[in-house]
Amino acid sequence: MPVTRVSTSVKELDPFVEGGFPRGSLILICGEPGTGKSIFSAQFIYDGAVNYDEKGIYVSFSEDRQTFFDNMERFYNFRKLESEDKFCFMEMLTGQEAMISESLKALLERIRTMEAKRVVIDSFSTFAQAVEKPIEARSLLHNILDKIVRKEGCTTLITGEIPPGVKKVILGSGEFVADGVIILRRKMHVGRLIRELEILKLRGTRLSNPRFVYTLENGFHVFPPTLPETKLTGVCEVIPHQPNRYSTGIRDLDNILTDGFIPGSYDLLEVDEDVGIPLELLLVPIISNFLSQGYPVIILPPQGISANKMIEVLKDVTPPLENLKIVDYRFETEETSASPYVLPLSGRSIIEDTTRFWTATLQLMKLTRRPALSIVGFDTVEYVYSEKEALRTLGESVARTKNFGVLRINIARPSMKIIDELRALATIHLRICQIDGAHFLYGVKPNTQLFNIQTKLEGHIRRYRLIPVV
């Protein structure tokens, strides 16, 4: 018999837990202080009342009514729900075990009179302190499971504190009684805050992906694994360049970089080795934004991207490509591509090929009367010409970039032999990493927090967004 599900109220999480929590289940939400347990739980109550017509009760053993409403006001309008009799906040006192029993009786009565379907108890750690032995705390959980969850059919979340630095769940064996256990963690990744949700168990549910990075930006949201699109659709958003600034093609990134890239700057986009998203999809916004405004673009693709593949991707999301040139290495025995967008190079001499590359750049600039965007995959340069040869051209490349007002973005991997030199020369240094299957961008120069990379089709316009991990 199929399990009836209740949305977790984290819309990005539902598809990974077969649509939600089993209806009438008991779920423990555990974590250190400040991990967002109350926000997760409050969102579960609020979303149920607003979007599913399921009344909810929030029971607090540690926070008074006014504090709760004030803290949640930036996310949810609980006062409105309360006035509509869709929500009830119950402030409970802790003390002796007898007081806990009275509190549970009051909760049961309110569930029945209100016909509530969702309940949150915040927190198990607080009311468990009223009993002397762990086995008594477990008995309390059994009591909740029997009277509230099973008999009343309420899907119930109970929060629990995990002391800082403790990795195990310590809830008086409550994790064995509950139908589901979710752990929320705060940790650091490359010196930046990362939040991670882990589903330890969820009865009756196949868990294909138990870990997710999440954010508390505008509520509780998880970042699901990035699924590369096989074919881009829509036209990329056009963002006008500003005086003395070039837009990145992503509004959020423009804001992070104070209106975008600086003309004549020598910049670096470093991509971690395990990043699974195709690099051409990451480059599309800025390439499209330049071409759409009549600026020339010349590209020496990073490893794994052919000229034909890059052209194929850009044709789907960008206007005419007449101001575009993409390097394609051709050996003597191979025919030269007939595409007008391809710049064939032999790969025999870095001096000769660099001269051809810059000659083509200046020709495009003369034709359009505008500065060029130059993208160079230095992993390709290092592979084709060797580390020593790649280093020979760096100084001249930096000087020409500044002298001609070109915007240079170098693409590199951390394992490259010349990565330290590229990092040192970069005016702006951005880095892309993958965590729990999702992709993130952060600034090294300037130093920024982590941002999840998202793309969305709005009508026929494709927009990219960066969501901060906060």
For the segment 114-151, what is each residue's pLDDT rounded down to a tens digit? 999 999 999 877 666 655 555 556 666 677 767 788 88
| Arithmetic mean of pLDDT, 402-413 | 97
Cα 431 to Cα 420: distance, rounded to the nearest angstrom: 14
- Residue 155's pLDDT is 96
Ranges assigned E (strand) in 128-170:
155-161
Q: Which residues contact 122 (CB under 8 A, 6 or more apart)?
A: 37, 38, 41, 58, 59, 60, 61, 62, 63, 158, 159
The whole-number pLDDT of residue 242 equals 92
3-state secondary structure of 226: coil
24 within 8 A of 150, measured Cβ to Cβ: yes
- Average pLDDT (302-308) is 91
pLDDT in tens, 197-212: 999 999 999 998 999 9
Nearest by Cα to 127 from 156, 145, 101 = 101
Calpha distance 232→138 (Å, rounded): 53
User: How far apart, in whole angstroms, are the C-alpha atoms of residue 27 and residue 21?
Assistant: 8
pLDDT band at 281 (very low <50, low <70, confident <90, very high): confident
How far apart CA 80 and CA 213 sit, in angstroms, is 31
Long-range CB contacts for residues 213-218, cutoff 8 Å, separation at least 24: 213/435, 213/436, 213/438, 213/440, 213/452, 213/469, 214/10, 214/36, 214/184, 214/469, 215/452, 215/467, 215/468, 215/469, 215/470, 216/36, 216/39, 216/470, 217/467, 217/468, 217/469, 217/470, 218/75
Report phi then psi at 457, rounded to 5: -95, 115
Cα-based angle 411, 413, 416 (whole degrees, multiple of 5): 110
Instruction: Tell me the per-residue pLDDT of 7-55, one tens digit each, with 9 for 90 and over.
Output: 999 999 999 999 999 999 999 999 999 999 999 999 999 999 999 999 9
pLDDT > 60? residue 96: no
The yes-or-no verdict on residue 375 having pLDDT over 70 is yes
- Cα 40–Cα 180–Cα 173 angle in degrees, nearest 5: 110
pTM of the entire predicted model = 0.92
CB atoms within 10 A of CB 177: 20
Q: For residue 246, what is the DSSP state?
A: B
- Is the distance from CB of 248 to CB of 260 less than 8 angstroms? yes
C-alpha span between 77 and 271 (Å, rounded): 41
Q: Which of 93, 104, 156, 102 has the alpha carbon at shortest distance from 129? A: 93
Long-range contacts of 83-87 (CB under 8 A, 24+ apart): 85/55, 85/114, 86/49, 86/50, 86/55, 86/56, 87/45, 87/46, 87/49, 87/55, 87/56, 87/57, 87/58
Considering Cα of 417, then 418, then 424, then 430, what sign does the dihedral take? negative
Average pLDDT over residues 158-169: 78
pLDDT for 104 equals 82
Cβ-in-10-Å burial (0-12, 13-18, 19+) of 163 comes to exposed
Which pLDDT score is estimated for 172?
53
| Block residue for tokens 């789907």 | 316
What is the rounded distance in angstroms from the CA atom of residue 283 to the CA atom of residue 317? 12
Query: What pLDDT does 168 receive?
Result: 61
Provide the pLDDT for residue 171: 53
Rounded Cα distance between 461 and 260, Å, is 21
Q: What domains can you pick out in the chain, each with its CATH number? A: 5-223 (3.40.50.300), 235-468 (3.40.50.300)
